[in-house]
Structure 1
């Protein structure tokens, strides 16, 4: 009886430790990611494990684990004998490939989501309204765009923008399509790290999302494909112009 109780307690403690460790690593990951995107760790700069651990008041282990995870996204790179560095800006070729992939994936998603428009539309309207509201808040904070906002101001805007796309992708009803889109999120983050055009294209992005929403409301498959393709091509042009 005592042996069984000891084993049970030990197992619970072990599971709790694993969960706590993962939560700590995820928190460190998020903190480093924000440094990459807010400009405090610019492309090419060094990411010292010990210095990051001191800054975040954690041990080096979760920092190392977070950097390994970030390396897989392409946001950081490991240089032999030099440690980790923030990845250089995306090249024009990488930008072209990223938008090519997004177009393949997201045009396929709108085609499949069209068959679920009755369920999708209420969620998509909410996602669009949140995107519009987030843009309005950015303008309020920075005086209607007179001063470029920093990353903290843009965080909610970026999240709302991407959530509009994810809402459509999830409605396609294909778990592997959704997983592929979610795996692209880090590269979308890297795009924002590469080109600081977030405030410049708010009005255009909202107008393009409005066209996509209208296409779902009319139920025209060709309009859906065209509106999503047009939006992604426009974003790619703006990114290339700013890069």
Structure 2
């Protein structure tokens, strides 16, 4: 993927569009695991790779530092953040509990649009899990990523219907760290079957129009995901 180079004497708007484009590309590369944890992110080398000037690279890295995916050390420049430690993982799941349980309790369960979208997201999640199980070694990593994109889409569907844009924004911030956590997961010890079963409980509660039950099912799901993630660290 290549970013478009800037024009001579670009306007403030075009400079901003270029910076945002570079940010999106670097974020995608980080979430795809194209950089090893701790790897240096040299501004000049990224500038050559993406065929842009150093300025939008530098501005994008400043933005990425706020996501926690990138660290900056004085006199050493930017590096890919290391994997989450156990304490950070616990804090991440605690934050997800606060935000996503609240979103589930507020989502319009009587809204047929939500239920229809959630059913579709659940089917995509199951299909992605099947694709991962049947993939050969060469395509395993790509299917693993597709699975987790489908997994997050299920959660995102509920967030879109919760009626609170700030809950959506907070969950989106946590999602980058969740992707970061998954990059270090051992692909052979996944929790796909359990996650799909837990999502089915959330969906079933919404189908019954019971927001309280949906919130409780979401609470159980996030607790379950936390236990399984921490078990991989032990």
Query: After superposition, where does 1:124-143 map in structure 2 within 5 Å?
Result: 124-142=118-136
On the 8 A contact 1:47/1:83 being kept in 2, the answer is yes
- Provide the rounded CA distance (Å) in 2 between the counterparts of 1:39 and 1:175: 29
Provide closer, same or farther for how the CA distance between residues 70 and 79 of structure 1 changes in structure 2, counting only shifts above 3 A.
same
Moved more, 195-204 or 219-228: 195-204
Are 1:56 and 2:59 counterparts? no
Query: After superposition, where does 1:149-228 map in structure 2 within 5 Å?
Result: 149-150=140-141, 152-197=142-187, 200-228=190-218
Aligned to 1:236: 226
Are 1:29 and 2:23 counterparts? yes
**Structure 1, residues 165-209: CA drift from partner, whole Å, max 9, x if none?**
111112111122222222222222222234345971222211111
TM-score normalised according to structure 1 size: 0.82
- Provide the rounded CA distance (Å) in 2 between the counterparts of 1:17 and 1:217: 50
Aligned to 2:86: 92
On the 8 A contact 2:106/2:211 being kept in 1, the answer is no
Q: Secondary structure at the match of 1:78?
A: strand
Provide closer, same or farther for how the CA distance between residues 55 and 147 of structure 1 changes in structure 2, counting only shifts above 3 A.
closer
Aligned to 2:4: none
**Structure 1, residues 24-64: CA drift from partner, whole Å, max 9, x if none?**
33343333334434444211121111111112222112211
On the 8 A contact 1:197/1:239 being kept in 2, the answer is no
Q: Secondary structure at the match of 2:78?
A: strand
Query: After superposition, where does 1:99-114 map in structure 2 within 5 Å?
Result: 99-114=93-108
On the 8 A contact 1:212/1:224 being kept in 2, the answer is yes
| Matched residue count | 226
Whichever structure has more helix as a proportion of its residues is 1
Q: Secondary structure at the match of 1:46?
A: coil
Provide closer, same or farther for how the CA distance between residues 221 and 34 of structure 1 changes in structure 2, counting only shifts above 3 A.
closer
Moved more, 62-71 or 174-183: 174-183
- Provide the rounded CA distance (Å) in 2 between the counterparts of 1:53 and 1:94: 32
- Provide the rounded CA distance (Å) in 1 between the counterparts of 2:181 and 2:157: 20
On the 8 A contact 1:197/1:238 being kept in 2, the answer is no
Aligned to 2:35: 41
CA RMSD of aligned residues (A): 2.6
